[in-house]
Chain A
Amino acid sequence: ETGVTQSPTHLIKTRGQQVTLRCSSQSGHNTVSWYQQALGQGPQFIFQYYREEENGRGNFPPRFSGLQFPNYSSELNVNALELDDSALYLCASSPVASGGPETQYFGPGTRLLVL
């Protein structure tokens, strides 16, 4: 098991509501990436945070936003929830090195259901 933790484990919301998901990165890791995994699909990149700044973003609308804190933990916020936002939300942490991409270690995910 990795040292990446996420909360909550499950969440049920209704359309139009807002949700905040949380992630604690593995010790020594200063980069956090968020992914959305729809049922039967591979994870899709939402965005990445490094040193408290957004470092890259996938093809997701602005109602998906995030934060990273000085202790490298992170939040994913989704406003105006839609039915299609129902998915497993995964965060992954990685160390930053100058030599190239580093291994990403995933948390257990938060399963969001939007009704």
Chain B
Amino acid sequence: GENVEQHPSTLSVQEGDSAVIKCTYSDSASNYFPWYKQELGKRPQLIIDIRSNVGEKKDQRIAVTLNKTAKHFSLHITETQPEDSAVYFCAASKGRGYSTLTFGKGTMLLVSP
């Protein structure tokens, strides 16, 4: 089955710096890659996603890049703010019409003022 590796497990940055989280996946048939943000005690919330027919997607301070050949994708957060502090999960999915998500183990991002 699919295996998703995520690095780093923890990331500390100063406010205003950029943060990058990287994930690799094993199943070349995977074609959908969402990123979720989970604050302590809260539900995972989708922040951005990308499909395999696109190489990059941006939404304000957040961007995701996908390299299908290397089977890795990355989350980029620019101009980080303290409210960006949370655990971030990458995931991979495949299939038509319905599918399941395989998650990485998460990255705890801490943004210091």
**Closest chain B residue, CB of each to CB of A58:** B100
Distance, CA A58 to CA B43, complexed state (A): 21
| B 74-100 to A, binary, CB cutoff 8 A, 1 in contact else 0 | 000000000000000101011111111
Q: Is the CB of B31 within 8 A of A100?
A: yes
Contact of A43 among B44, B46, B94 (CB under 8 A): B44
**Closest chain A residue, CB of each to CB of B6:** A42
Chain B interface bracket (under 10, 10 to 19, 20 to 34, 35 or more): 20 to 34
Q: Is A101 in the interface zone, CB < 8 Å from B?
A: yes
Contact residues, A42-89 vs B (CB, 8 A): 42-45, 48, 50, 55-56, 58
Residues of B within 8 A of A105 (CB): 46
Q: Is the CB of B98 within 8 A of A31?
A: yes
- Count CB-based A-B contacts (< 8 Å): 76
Instruction: Identify the interface centre among B46, B101, B103: most chain A CB within 10 Å of its CB.
Output: B101
Distance, CA A45 to CA B103, complexed state (A): 9
Chain A interface bracket (under 10, 10 to 19, 20 to 34, 35 or more): 20 to 34
Q: Is the CB of B98 within 8 A of A96?
A: yes
Instruction: Given contact pairs A2-B45, A42-B89, enumerate 18 new A-B contacts (beta carbons under 8 Å).
Output: A31-B98, A33-B101, A35-B101, A42-B104, A42-B106, A43-B101, A56-B98, A56-B99, A97-B97, A100-B95, A101-B96, A101-B98, A101-B99, A102-B98, A102-B99, A103-B49, A104-B34, A106-B43
Distance, CA A104 to CA B92, complexed state (A): 12
Distance, CA A108 to CA B100, complexed state (A): 18
Residues on A close to B: CB < 8 A?
2, 31, 33, 35, 40-45, 48, 50, 55-56, 58, 90, 92, 94, 96-109
Q: Is the CB of B43 within 8 A of A100?
A: no
Q: Is the CB of B102 within 8 A of A107?
A: no
Q: Is B68 in the interface zone, CB < 8 Å from A?
A: no
Provide 17 A-B residue pairs closer than 8 Å at the C-beta atoms, listed in order of the A residue: A2-B45, A42-B6, A42-B91, A42-B105, A43-B101, A48-B100, A55-B98, A56-B98, A96-B98, A98-B97, A100-B32, A102-B99, A103-B34, A103-B46, A104-B34, A104-B101, A106-B36
Residues of A within 8 A of B61 (CB): none
